[in-house]
């Protein structure tokens, strides 16, 4: 996996190389992460990358020339096995990031992430962009936090980053429902005990319990998701039980 990030503040993303499983994958050359300072692609001696918008209005806009120069420079640094980058502009106007989009980005193998700032970027840059993505319906001071989120989410699919493949397949937003509650030692803490079924050793009962609790979690935390899930007969039965229990019936 190769990821190039165009940013005004590369220092904000250097931390990715220092901590966690993604940093280990970078050190082991399973992930190539390049951080490009947009000011290095400015024309003038003051390294100007923004200007006032035509037509008036508040704030500043990132200029077209430095961004296009950065994109072209990155595309020229081809490495074997990385033929063509997928250019992503991170902005609140993009489509909302979800697990499917994350996996689709991973399959591209080479991403260029553009971190916006101020009032956004010159619209002419969009001719060089393949996709516009948002991490949520809120405004950030810049695209760097969004880039961090995208990098972390995408890189989890890189072989060796997450050791257990099963955990990638069973986690929330990949399965139908949110994940079930997890417990570990001690068995009892402040009079709160681990559910007995998890200690039973009966794998069928544990599987059924976890499915029901996944449905319960989804109902309690993200009920809107249930509207788009096609339930089988067992899941319908468990949902009915959950609704009855949660209503006090």
246 has a pLDDT exceeding 80: yes
Do 142 and 89 meet the contact criterion of CB atoms below 8 Å apart? no
Q: DSSP characters for 150-190? A: HHHHHHTTSBTTBS-HHHHHHSTTTSSSPPPP---S-SEET
- Any idea what the CATH number is for the domain that residue 226 is in? 1.10.1270.20
145 plus 205 within the same structural domain:
no
Going 118 to 101 to 236 to 203, the CA torsion angle's sign is negative
Q: What average pLDDT does this structure show over 199-223?
A: 95
171 has a pLDDT exceeding 80: no
150 plus 180 within the same structural domain:
no
- pTM for the whole structure: 0.86
Per-residue pLDDT band for 196 (boundaries 50, 70, 90) equals very high
State the Cα–Cα distance between residues 239 and 243, nearest whole angstrom: 6
45 plus 84 within the same structural domain:
yes
- Any idea what the CATH number is for the domain that residue 124 is in? 3.40.1280.10
- For residue 135, give the H/E element and its range: none
Q: Does residue 131 sit within a domain?
A: yes
43 has a pLDDT exceeding 90: no
Which residue segment(s) compose the domain that 188 sits in? 175-246
Higher per-residue pLDDT: 108 or 165: 108
79 plus 202 within the same structural domain:
no
Q: Does residue 93 sit within a domain?
A: yes
What Cα–Cα distance (Å) separates residue 179 from each residue in 6, 58, 189, 211?
35, 44, 22, 9
Mean pLDDT, the chain, whole residue set = 93
45 plus 138 within the same structural domain:
yes
122 plus 23 within the same structural domain:
yes
133 plus 211 within the same structural domain:
no
What pLDDT shows up at residue 14?
97
Owner of token pair 């990098």: 151
79 plus 43 within the same structural domain:
yes
The count of domains in the chain is: 2
29 plus 100 within the same structural domain:
yes
What pLDDT shows up at residue 165?
57
Coil, helix or strand for 15? helix
Q: State the Cα torsion 193-199-204-209 to the nearest 10°.
A: 10
Q: Does residue 226 sit within a domain?
A: yes
What pLDDT shows up at residue 164?
59
Q: Does residue 12 sit within a domain?
A: yes
Helical ranges in the chain per DSSP H: 20-27, 64-76, 99-108, 144-155, 165-170, 203-221, 233-246
What pLDDT shows up at residue 91?
93
Q: Does residue 99 sit within a domain?
A: yes
């Amino acid at each position: 996996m190769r990821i190039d990030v165009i940013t005004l503040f590369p220092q904000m993303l250097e931390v990715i190389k220092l901590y966690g499983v993604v940093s280990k994958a970078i050190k082991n050359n399973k992930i190539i992460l390049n951080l490009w300072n947009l000011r290095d692609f400015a024309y003038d001696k003051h390294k100007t990358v923004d200007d006032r918008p035509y037509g008036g209005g508040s704030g500043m806009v990132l200029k077209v020339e430095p961004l296009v120069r950065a994109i072209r420079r990155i595309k020229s640094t081809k490495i074997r096995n990385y033929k063509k980058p997928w250019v992503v502009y991170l902005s609140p106007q993009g489509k909302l990031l979800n697990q499917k989009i994350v996996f689709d980005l991973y399959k591209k193998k080479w991403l260029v992430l553009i971190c916006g700032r101020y009032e956004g970027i010159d619209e002419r840059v969009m001719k060089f962009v393949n996709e516009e993505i948002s991490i949520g319906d809120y405004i950030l001071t810049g695209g760097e936090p969004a880039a961090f989120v995208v990098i972390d989410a995408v890189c989890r699919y890189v072989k060796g980053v997450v050791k257990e493949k099963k955990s990638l397949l069973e986690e929330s937003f990949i399965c139908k429902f949110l994940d079930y509650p997890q417990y570990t030692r001690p068995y009892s803490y402040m009079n709160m005990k681990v559910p007995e079924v998890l200690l039973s050793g009966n794998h069928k009962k544990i599987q059924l319990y976890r499915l029901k609790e996944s449905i319960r979690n989804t109902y309690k935390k993200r009920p809107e998701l249930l509207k788009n899930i096609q339930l089988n007969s067992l899941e319908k039965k468990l949902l009915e039980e959950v609704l009855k229990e949660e209503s006090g019936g």
